Structure 1
Amino acid sequence: MKKILALSFIIISFQNIFSQETTTRKDSLQGGLRPERTCFDVLRYDLNIKVNPDEKSVVGYNDISFKVVDNTSKIQLDLFDNMQVDSIVFNSEKLNYKREFNAVFINFPTSLKIGTNEKIRFYYSGKPIIAKNAPWDGGFIFTKDGQGKPWVGVACQGTGASLWYPVKDSQSDEPDFGATIKVAVPNGLMEVSNGRLIGSEDLKNGYTRWDWEVKNPINTYSINVSVGDYVSIHENYKGLDLDYYVLRQNEVAAKIHFEEVKPMMDCFQSKFGPYPFASDSYKLVETPYLGMEHQSAVAYGNKYVNGYLGTDRSGTGIGLLFDYIIIHESGHEWFGNNITSKDSADMWIHEGFTCYTENVFVECQFGYEKGQQYVNGCKRNIDNVSPIIGPYGVNKEGSGDMYEKGALLLNTLRHVVNDDDKWWKLFLKYSETFHNKIIDTEAVISFFNTETGMNLTPIFNQYLRHASIPKLELRKSKGKLGLRWKTDEPKFNMPIDLKVNGKKYRFYPTTTWVTTKYKINKLEEVEVLTNDFYIDVN
């Protein structure tokens, strides 16, 4: 388990009350932290399975090693109820268990003692859910490549890793000592998972097993399986192993297109620190769906074109200067995989920061003005109809605005700080401080408050906990400029830069009207710098 930094007990408790009114027992079983989950800390997963593309089935087991942190005779693991529990073995004896929706409550014959390390083997089988529109819905994808050969992938973020393997399906716990993923697939195909390939073995039954090892803690939805007629492309760039697994017919295109990884790594490592999973290597794996941030095995399905399947999400043209999936999903290696939110309600910690990495890459490659043009172009993708933060404890995310609105919040904070040297040092320190940790929104806010020496809490709250963005109201009062903020958040007081008659000034409005010393004949003489601050103006 990564060390959890959780400072928001009161807020979480309030939201849990709300979630109980609007969600189900099934949701709370998947998203909640009850004693059967918090009593143990996962140390390691060791998966050993067979994937049959013709039957669309999975069979095998997961060895789950864990440390007991509270005396207990019962723990909760998770496996979707369409999958079969074949048996659960502990010290050579089969354990009793009870299933409730997708939760599996396992009973031990005697109490497990605090401080002991234990291991169970969980045998299972079945036909996992087939995704209808991966990666936006969770499940397996069983299809064929352009040569008619089987091509298999899985994406399960949000839906839950337990849709295809038994696991403690909570972002609050990751295996301290990584995992092994051993997957047997039909001969002639290759299987790619996270970490490094440690060997393969012909099982003499028409299947070859591919063995992968992950040395770092890993969030459960990142553990992955990809099967295809893959070829491997390898190079070492400035000491970092880069590995690409692509369909055989795309080898030439991949060698050219994936050159973008190198300037991306230069940019991200300069801004966010060293690539977090160098011991597991960096990989791009071609998949039959658009993409996903699987740790050290980033899923790539953008068809070797720039933009987002050849389109520009920003509408500025700048989004066509880079491959959205390479940049965005790789950005998650720092924000989402390395720094993980404890609860899916705080997924903006993954998506807002990662969406901002797109802007950072544009700025690295093409300069500040292009970066600002790109991030502001992305405003068109924001609805501002529901809060970014969702209900806690029920496996529910907040608004999809967490992406672009989260990025624009960070861009706004950059201009609130108003010192780029300080901003980039702060951003690097954020990555270093929370390296390999699980955090919540309150930890993020506390960090930014401390490092800036400013009270940014009202700003974070307005953008994250309310649907609307701040509105700056201007008026002419006795020949002078007057202004105030109109917000949901009380005591909102974000500084703002305006140009008055062409000259730039910083103002410190509150939610109460203030008349400034600046004389104006008409409001048209005032320019609000809305490219620097994501706000409405009235």
Structure 2
Amino acid sequence: MKKQLLILFLTLLAQFAFAQDWDWGGPMDPLQQKIRIRHYRLELEFFPETQRIQGSNTITFSAEEKLDTLRLNLIDEYEVQQVLMDGKEVKFSHKGDILDIIPVDCTCDQVQVFYGGKTPIAPNPPWEGGFTWEKDQLENHWMGLSSQGEGSQIFMPALDHPASEPSEGVDLLLTAPKPYFVASNGRLRSTLEGEDKLTYHWATAYPINVYNINFTMGIFHEEKLDFTSISGGTIPMHVWVLQENRTKAPELLQLLKISTETQEKYFGPFPFPDDKIAVVETPYLGMEHQTINAYGNNFQFVPMGATQYDWLLHHELGHEWFGNKISVADFADLWIHEGLTAYGDFLFYWEHGGPEAYFDKVRGDAKYIPHIKPVVSPANSTENEAYHGEIYSKGAMVIHSLRGILGDEVFFPMIKAFASDERFTYQNRVSTKDFMEFVQSYSGQDLRGFFELYLYTTDIPRLKVGKKGKSGYAIALQGIDFTMPVEVETSEGLVRVALGPKPTLVRSSSPPVVDPRGWIMMER
């Protein structure tokens, strides 16, 4: 009995030790500030029976000065077997999830790290990430990777920071046992067949967030079409689903097409036309992996006007614009990824369900915003510090409120212009300050008070309405020091009134309804 208890204790201890709370972001390490990553060439073989990986990552970088130490990130659970520079073995230290490499005396701009080991298992993907190894209904292996909260350190050695993207993209040579397929980023360049294995060479030349480098292994059914972008170009569009769901694949592909058309209408052409538009079915809910979004929503399509809607499909696709094309360097500004994408979800309701569906959706979501944490986190936040529900819900409401304040004639061209501005896209990064300055410059309006209130505090205005005479009402928004235009439904119809801390007199023979469509977050 004692022996059995000891074995149980050791097993639980091993599982606990492996389920570390990996986090990333925060201030960049000074040693890592000295280098710029140009390219990753990741070569990995998957061993589903033992849930292990083995391979290497070749990292091409540049540095303005000679390096005494090249610092990368890789969790300690993997064993680093060898590190090469200029074809020679170099010394390294691997501890505390840090891989320090001592370069040889050369002008090398590449390092190759050979490593492998048992993969960390995701306890609650995608919110608590790692590898998910499952089997489908046909007893085939099915593996997915989720790492937004943990970074690329859980699957490859890299400069693992949101401010660092490989400027020349990645090559991924991914090997699995026959007959398994591995879906990944970019375009499939070649498939190499061995005696009992298959190697898939995927590649993209676009910059890519390191947590968006991804792969999913399984036996899939594929549906595809050529998508005609509003840019005029043709982009391959694919869906990969498990064999047991093959009958659902054609409709999923059509929904992906409709969602892409909707995103393009409001945010501009698909950002990665040289690659593909694609989703792959995963053993967890979903994630915005660049050009290969994870989809695990079990085909829960709902009617929306004349079409069907899949919120997960549409949301993760929206990240191709906000999160993948437009990226933040500091997780303090993570709401730009999630809030703008969540607002894009509202726009599917607007486009296909009409105004009533849109405003019902907005009002319904606004009710559940707790206003506990500011949307913008402190500078140099980690992912754990910055990630919470209000960066979605309140972030989307901030964008919705901007639409109400600016009007559609200004708002829609402005959002599309922001998503297309070269100062903020691909290799360039964006901050909340950049977004605020862009909106104010484009609109010609001073919105500093609005942004400060809704992005940096948890306060919202308090509505106060008082009767004045026979047909007058004094309306104020208490708790703010600025004014903003707000719709008011009066006996004479809908009017826009500049409301702020000082009462504004509104004429109406019946009690007015302030902000009847729900443009502004306030205590009513």
Q: TM-score, normalised by structure 1?
A: 0.86
User: Is 1:217 matched with 2:207?
Assistant: yes
Does the 8 Å contact 2:224/2:253 carry over to 1?
no
What amino acid is the match of 1:432? S
Which segment drifts farther, 249-258 or 148-157?
249-258
Distance 1:484 1:74, change over 3 A: farther
| Aligned match of 2:183 | 192
- SS at 2:62's partner residue? strand
Q: Deviation of residue 465 (structure 1)?
A: 1.4
User: Is 1:482 matched with 2:474?
Assistant: yes
| Aligned match of 1:355 | 342
Distance 1:528 1:169, change over 3 A: same
Q: Deviation of residue 219 (structure 1)?
A: 0.6
Does the 8 Å contact 1:29/1:103 carry over to 2?
no
| Aligned match of 1:417 | 406
| Aligned match of 1:228 | 218
Does the 8 Å contact 2:175/2:199 carry over to 1?
yes
| Aligned match of 1:57 | 52
Match of 2:255 among 260, 268, 282: 260
Q: Deviations over 1:141-198 (max 9, x none)?
A: 0000110000000000022121111111111111111111111111111111111111
Q: Deviations over 1:357-409 (max 9, x none)?
A: 11112212122232222222222442211112223324231431111211111
| Aligned match of 2:353 | 366
Distance 1:39 1:322, change over 3 A: same
Match of 1:153 among 116, 133, 144: 144
| Aligned match of 1:23 | none
| Aligned match of 1:388 | 375
| RMSD of aligned alpha carbons | 2.4
Distance 1:91 1:214, change over 3 A: same
CA distance in 1, matches of 2:370, 2:359: 20
CA distance in 2, matches of 1:451, 1:27: 40
Q: Which has the higher contact order (CA 8 A, sep 6+)?
A: 1
Which segment drifts farther, 49-58 or 368-377?
368-377
Q: Deviations over 1:65-116 (max 9, x none)?
A: 1111455322321111222222222112333334452232333245x8xxx7
Distance 1:101 1:502, change over 3 A: farther
| Aligned match of 1:123 | 114
- SS at 2:327's partner residue? strand
CA distance in 2, matches of 1:215, 1:117: 22
What amino acid is the match of 1:403? Y
What amino acid is the match of 1:485? L
Q: Deviation of residue 515 (structure 1)?
A: 4.1
User: Is 1:48 matched with 2:38?
Assistant: no
Does the 8 Å contact 1:290/1:300 carry over to 2?
yes
CA distance in 1, matches of 2:489, 2:28: 50
CA distance in 1, matches of 2:453, 2:180: 51
Does the 8 Å contact 1:411/1:532 carry over to 2?
no
| Aligned match of 2:390 | 401
CA distance in 1, matches of 2:347, 2:262: 8
CA distance in 1, matches of 2:368, 2:512: 27
| Aligned match of 1:345 | 332
Q: Deviation of residue 255 (structure 1)?
A: 1.0
Does the 8 Å contact 1:51/1:59 carry over to 2?
yes
Distance 1:193 1:27, change over 3 A: closer
What amino acid is the match of 1:431? A
Match of 1:453 among 444, 447, 459: 444
| Aligned match of 1:535 | 521
| Aligned match of 2:489 | 499
- SS at 2:208's partner residue? coil
- SS at 1:87's partner residue? strand
Q: Deviation of residue 38 (structure 1)?
A: 1.6
Does the 8 Å contact 1:498/1:528 carry over to 2?
yes
User: How do 1:6-405 and structure 2 match up within 5 A?
Assistant: 30-99=25-94, 101-110=96-105, 118-204=109-195, 206-238=196-228, 239-306=234-301, 321-395=308-382, 396-405=385-394
- SS at 1:283's partner residue? strand
Does the 8 Å contact 2:489/2:516 carry over to 1?
no
CA distance in 2, matches of 1:126, 1:475: 69
| Aligned match of 2:7 | none
For structure 2, which runs of at least 5 residues remain unmatched after alignment? 1-20, 229-233
What amino acid is the match of 1:390? S
For structure 1, which runs of at least 5 residues remain unmatched after alignment? 1-25
CA distance in 1, matches of 2:202, 2:398: 38
CA distance in 2, matches of 1:93, 1:264: 50
Distance 1:325 1:520, change over 3 A: closer
Which segment drifts farther, 81-90 or 215-224?
81-90
Does the 8 Å contact 2:84/2:113 carry over to 1?
yes
CA distance in 1, matches of 2:396, 2:150: 24
CA distance in 2, matches of 1:425, 1:101: 48
| Aligned match of 1:17 | none
